[in-house]
A and B are shown apart, each in its own frame.
Chain A
């Protein structure tokens, strides 16, 4: 107990910046504009409805679950779920809250390192002269070392990966107050300033061949066809984006919130972190990539780029634009530094639940925990890097970042609203609250959020689960590598199942009076 109490948030500003930084990631600048552009301004309607009905309620639930669990010295979801529902399976359901962030982090850190590598390449003008999307696509595959060989490996990409990995390990090994909070307090304001500079630069771009920045903004904001709202895909895309952007359903908010004291506010702080994330995503994120692409490439080409995915926009199109923009080398470097900082503030949270699980439940020291996490994660990252061209990232992303996330969200909402009980949950959420949440959210959290998330799991099973399980449409040559990715996930899950079983057999805190309901009243 003393070990956890020795660490914690030194300032409220640091807490909010860390929570916002956890949410603000590469997705705010790349995924969001890529998802919004195909639907135009109509996308914002389901986006904000999903934010109000699912995103913000979920965020408050996770802060509450985290702080509640933290009062019992649990910093990760297995223990937190056990305290919400003292049933023998609840702690095993909580494993998702450790497994998902760790396995997402396994590939996220490598992607984050590309931003650092591209910041360097842009600053040194390494790819200058490659002025088409196709040429930049080749630069990208060369950077990753994808050249038709058995491995995808390039020394340059690997060096930047090692630097990024070392920075992440260094930050989270220093704990909350001396590591994560310090980085968040400096990186988030820096990120906001960089984002603001880039947004102003894009908004003041001169017309190119008659295309203005107004045309670019219209790609995100103009509503040409309201009937698009009758299609399910825009609702799925918008609610999926809300999950991603708020980083809910991954177990990281729980761990950060576990360091709060029992009566520290969570309603206002949670809303502030959410507001910061929306500022970065909707105001900055919608102003940079797509409007700039429309000005330089036109609407049709921009839509093609957006449909090619997140990386095509960030790593192919924008470097081409920067080469044509006055001061482009400077602004291009700022762009990739911005992406790196956005990635870092998210990734440093991803391994924290695993580290805290090892410390709190398996009673490892900080040094032992950092060593285990560092070595284990580093080993798991190697197949991701070396077999990148076989789609390991997509496989991990589907199971951990999409399906697993939705499943975990459904589990935790049902657990919180229906099993723990919304009356107790509402009361718990308002302990020390500086913002009285409107009563309507009680009913939203009790009925709308759980029903919506459970429905999403059912839809996911119906829509793509079977195809994904049996790898339909996957190149047979890549299938063994996807099985490798599955083994990695199952291996980590098996370790966590064993860890939970062992912890509950051996840790003294599960045999003392803290396990009784009376203790809850005292706390």
Chain B
């Protein structure tokens, strides 16, 4: 692995982890804040 290859792999890994953090943080924050406001009383 050359330094550039490590950087390439690191960027791809970081992008995927960032995508997951972005999605799941929004989902769990919404769940924490939004349960009581759901008119259907549905926790999905």
On A, residues with C-beta under 8 Å from B are 9-13, 15-16, 41, 44, 48, 214-215, 217-218, 221-223, 260-261, 264, 268-269, 271-272, 275-276, 278-279, 282-283, 434-435
Contact = CB atoms under 8 A, between A and B. Distances in A.
Contact of A275 (B2, B16, B30, B42): B16
A435 B26 contact: yes
A207 to B, nearest CB: 14
Contacts of A11: 43-44
Contact of B27 (A214, A261, A272): A272
A41 B5 contact: yes
B40 to A, nearest CB: 7
B2 to A, nearest CB: 7
A218 B5 CA distance: 7
Given A9-B44, A12-B43, A278 B16 contact: yes
Interface in B18-44: 19-20, 23-24, 26-27, 30-31, 40, 42-44
A282 B13 contact: yes
Contacts of B8: 41, 221, 223
A12 to B, nearest CB: 5
Contacts, number: 69
B27 A268 contact: yes
B27 to A, nearest CB: 6
The B contact surface, by secondary structure, is helix
The A contact surface, by secondary structure, is helix
A16 B27 CA distance: 10
B20 A279 contact: yes
A222 B1 contact: yes
7 contacts: A10-B44, A218-B1, A223-B5, A261-B42, A272-B24, A282-B12, A434-B27
Nearest to B18: A275
A20 B42 CA distance: 21
Contact of A44 (B1, B12, B27): B12
A269 B27 contact: yes
B10 to A, nearest CB: 10
